[in-house]
Structure 1
Amino acid sequence: MCPKGTYCLILKTDGCTVNVGSLKSIVFEAGYYIYVGSALGPGGLKRMHRHQKFARQKDKKPRWHIDYLLVHPDFKFVDVVYTCSGRHIECGIADNLQGNYVSKFGCSDCSCQSHLFHRLTCPVNEIKSAIEDIGQKPKALSENDDS
C-alpha cells in the first residue's frame, strides 16, 4: 500500500440522530454516507485502518466529526475507496461528489460546504469516478487489501 493518500469511507445507516460535537444534533436519513478525508500525516493511509477498527470496536471517545458516526451503533462500516497521493486532493474529490450533503461536516480546515455526502445506493462506483475525474487511480480496500 502507498504511504499517503486520500480516502472515502462508506458508512450505512437505517436512519438515526447523532450528536456530532460542535455540530450538535444531526438527523441522518437512511442510506449510505461518504466521508472524504486525507491521510497525509506521519501515519499516512494507516488512518483508514484506524477508522475501520474504530467502527468495529466502537471503544474510543470521539474526537473528529467522523468519529461520532464510526462509534454510533446505528452506523455500519461498509468499505473504503482510496487513492495514493501526497497532495491535498480531498476537496477536489468532494467537489466531484456534491449532491446531498451534511453541512460543515469534516471540513473545518477548508472552504468546502461538506466532506460528508448522502446516497440512497452504494456509492463505490461513483467514488471511483470522482477520483478518476481528478486524474487519480482509485482502489477499494475490499478489493485490494494489500496492507
Structure 2
Amino acid sequence: HIDYLLKESEIEEIIFNESTEKIECELSQYISNNAKGIKNFGCSDCECESHLYYFKNRNEAIESVQNAYKSIAMDFEYFKI
C-alpha cells in the first residue's frame, strides 16, 4: 500500500528485513501494543486489525519497530535516506 501513502508523504527512513518467513503479523501484534492502528489497513489477508500504525513522534515509531524485530529475534536493517 506504499503507493497510496506516497501521494501525501515521502520516505525518510526504512527498517526492513530479508527473510522467507512471514513475520508481518508478529511485528504488527507487537507494535499494536505501543501505537494506534489504522483499522483494516494492509491486513486484508490476515486476522490483524491493522498493519499501519500512527505514532506521535518518529523516535517512538523507530524504537517500537526495532523492538518488535528484537522480540522475535529477527535481524533487520535501518537506513536514513
- TM-score bracket for the superposition, by shorter chain length: 0.7 to 0.9
Equivalent residues, number: 77
Larger Rg: 1
Structure-2 residue corresponding to 1:77: 11
**Is residue 89 of structure 1 aligned with residue 23 of structure 2?**
yes
- Supply the RMSD in Å over aligned alpha carbons: 1.6
Higher relative contact order (CA 8 A, sep 6+): 2
Q: Which amino acid aligns with 1:105?
A: F
Q: Which amino acid aligns with 1:141?
A: F
Structure with greater proportional strand content: 1
Structure with greater proportional helix content: 2
4+ residue runs over 3 A deviation: none
Post-superposition CA distance 1:17-64 (Å, at most 9, x none):
xxxxxxxxxxxxxxxxxxxxxxxxxxxxxxxxxxxxxxxxxxxxxxxx
Identity, % of aligned positions: 29
CA distance in 2, matches of 1:139, 1:76: 19
SS in 1 for 2:64: helix
Q: Which runs of 5+ in 2 are unaligned?
A: none
